[in-house]
Amino acid sequence: MKRVIFFLSITLAMACSDKPSPTISVNDQGTEHDMPSVDMPTDLANDEGNTDQGTPDLTDMMPDIALDMTPDMTADMENTDADMPDMENPPNLACEAHSDCSRCAFPTAPTTLSECYCVSCASEVLPAETCQENQAAWDAVCGTDTSWEPNGACPIPRCTPPQPVACINDTCIDACTQAECPVLNCPLNEQILQPGECCPRCSGPNTCTVDSECGLCNHASAPTSPSECECPLCPTHPATQTECQARNSAFNTHCDADFLATCPVAICLPTQPANCANSGYCEASSDVCVNDGDCGYCPFASAPTDPSECVCEGCGTPMTNDACSAIIQQVNIVCAGFDFDGCIPTPCPAPPELTCDAFGGGTCEMDI
């Protein structure tokens, strides 16, 4: 062990200089004296002249390793991208109208059996003409010879109606990416997404299809015991007519005349009627005002249903703010490709104030 320590000391001293220097030490009195000489072991003395060798070359200590690549391995590396999709040549999605676009079950046009694929549900967004061409190619190549089918047969897909497509900025796209879904007032557990639609709808007892099914109830809910009874005040709770009748019936069952005698007499102002909103749920009508604050000028008179109905903003049409918000929401969806920047600003006079004729049908009128 001492021999090893001594060897390390000698090595460090030699690394500092090619020629050994005399070692000087200082004693407690500060005087200098020569260090006694030390006899170097024979095997170490033989290596004294090899101080310039430095650190051994580790590469000389490692065996040679040769990477022998066979032709097959080289070919596999060269063909790594052979099975990758051609991302540099995406499908042409050009269109001029919504009717030019479609959901397609044939994403590509096979030319050999190796390019055949099992037909799934129509999910690919493609121009209708391209889809027809792909289907014709599939029928010609893959429909006559079924030897390519995996496990002897392709599975039969169970499909729902596809979601809509649209032609926006001369390109076929998934129309749902442009949809602005209405805010649903129904509970989350009553919201469902119908096949072929972008936005969820409400379900449950307040679900409707036409305005005549809706009304305003005096009760917010149907009591199930006397402890849940609440005084019937003004009709302000939108619901279906059937649901309103069920709530009234439950109130008459659990809430007796003694409880009703404690309720105050309500003096009700005109209220907005209920209608069947876009969510398929009975809601307070957005077309009827209750006070002046519900009214405003809308830059669009009506909601477009087709790009051909898109127009530049006008001076403003009196209506409720809720009705205008619904129109603008539809404009953003249908008129996404319309060049509003090219519209010529229309000089409009200062509009008069608007008032709500609450007792005359709930319409917004100019205060002239």
- Please report the pLDDT score of residue 21 as a whole number: 40
Distance (Å) of CA 352 to CA 161, 315, 322, 345, 364: 49, 12, 20, 20, 12
- In this structure, are residues 174 and 125 in contact, taking their beta carbons and an 8 Å threshold? yes
- Please report the pLDDT score of residue 136 as a whole number: 96
Distance (Å) of CA 48 to CA 58, 115, 255: 22, 75, 112
pLDDT tens digits for range 98-144:
889 999 999 999 999 999 999 999 999 999 999 999 999 999 999 98
pLDDT exceeds 60 at position 85: no
Question: How much is the average pLDDT of 43-63?
Answer: 44
Nearest to 307 by CA among 1, 145, 101: 101
Q: Which amino acid is it at 20?
A: P
Who's near 156: CB < 8 A, 6+ residues apart?
A: none
Q: What is the pTM (predicted TM-score) of this model?
A: 0.41
Task: Please give the radius of gyration of the chain, using alpha carbons only, rounded to the nearest integer.
Answer: 43
- Please report the pLDDT score of residue 115 as a whole number: 94
pLDDT tens digits for range 161-209:
888 898 988 999 998 887 778 777 777 888 888 788 888 888 877 888 8
Question: How much is the average pLDDT of 225-245?
Answer: 88
